Amino acid sequence: MGVEDTSIRRGGYPMNTIPIRALVVEEKDGTFQEQELRLEEPARGEALVRVVATGVCHTDQITRHGDMPMPFPAVLGHEGAGIVERVGEGVTEVTAGDKVIIGWPWCGECRNCLDGQPRYCLRTGDALVSGRRFKGERAGTTAYSRDGKPINGHFFGQSSFATYCQHAREGASGDADRAPGPARLRPGNGCRRGAQ
Ligand SMILES: [Zn+2]
Ligand SMILES: [Zn+2]
């Protein structure tokens, strides 16, 4: 054996990850099972949020039943709110300690995003239900793992059925305490649905 590669593992776990509790749906029609997973520290452009509350919505239910193209096993939950723990490089929109309502991510580059209509982002499918990061230097990877194997997360950019989540800064709303009235409700599922 040569020098141990601590860049990959330490104490049996991937480096730069934290333990989280999450509700995992193992397969189509599976139940929500509480398990311990590992979550990567925030990458560039991401914020690690301690989830304080989350809505439960029929979208989680129909996804569990396979009506959305989300791959399994997966962590669902898409109406979360919480407190920013840490942010990755390049994140200035939120900082540690901010109370946030977690919105959806968007690409920021397509016709609709550039037109100021991120809710109609042309990459919405990838952004919400690919189970992976959909852009940035780690696009195609997941921040979630179980026993060293990848688990699908990033559901609606958050997978809020967990003690912590990792999401792209575009989904981070401002400080929920300071923001005035309606602005605190960064477009979440209900708002968007109502607008459609
Ligand atoms: Zn919903
Ligand atoms: Zn877009």
State which residues form the domain around 131.
18-176
Whether residue 195 lies inside any domain: the answer is no
Q: What is the pLDDT of residue 14?
A: 58
CA atoms of 19 and 15, how far apart (whole Å)? 11
Q: How does pLDDT run along the chain (196 residues), one tens digit per residue?
A: 334 444 444 455 557 999 999 999 999 999 999 999 999 999 988 999 999 999 999 999 999 999 999 999 999 999 999 999 999 999 988 999 999 999 888 888 999 999 999 889 999 999 999 999 998 888 999 999 999 999 999 999 999 999 999 887 654 444 444 433 333 334 344 433 332 2
**What separation in Å is there between the alpha carbon of 127 and the centre of ligand 2?**
9
Distant-in-sequence, close-in-space partners of 166: CB < 8 Å, separation ≥ 6:
39, 40, 42, 46, 47, 48, 49, 143, 153, 154
Whether residue 122 lies inside any domain: the answer is yes
Ligand showing the shortest atom-to-Cα distance for residue 112: 2
**What separation in Å is there between the alpha carbon of 83 and the centre of ligand 2?**
26
How long is the chain? Answer: 196
**Exposed / middle / buried, residue 109 (Cβ in 10 Å: 0-12, 13-18, 19+):** exposed
30 residue type, one letter: G
Whether residue 116 lies inside any domain: the answer is yes
Whether residue 43 lies inside any domain: the answer is yes
Number of Cβ within a 10 Å radius of residue 97 = 9
Whether residue 170 lies inside any domain: the answer is yes
**What separation in Å is there between the alpha carbon of 105 and the centre of ligand 2?**
9
Q: pTM for this structure?
A: 0.81
Whether residue 33 lies inside any domain: the answer is yes
Q: Which of 129, 20, 33, 25 is nearest to 85 (CA)?
A: 20
Whether residue 127 lies inside any domain: the answer is yes
120: CATH: 3.90.180.10
Number of Cβ within a 10 Å radius of residue 12 = 7
Q: Residue written as tokens 């649905």? A: 193
Ligand showing the shortest atom-to-Cα distance for residue 122: 2
Ligand showing the shortest atom-to-Cα distance for residue 189: 1
CA atoms of 71 and 25, how far apart (whole Å)? 10
Count of structural domains within the chain: 1
**What separation in Å is there between the alpha carbon of 89 and the centre of ligand 1?**
29
Whether residue 146 lies inside any domain: the answer is yes
DSSP for 140-186, written as a single string: T--SEEETTEEEB--GGGT--SBSEEEEEGGGB---TTTS-GGGGS-
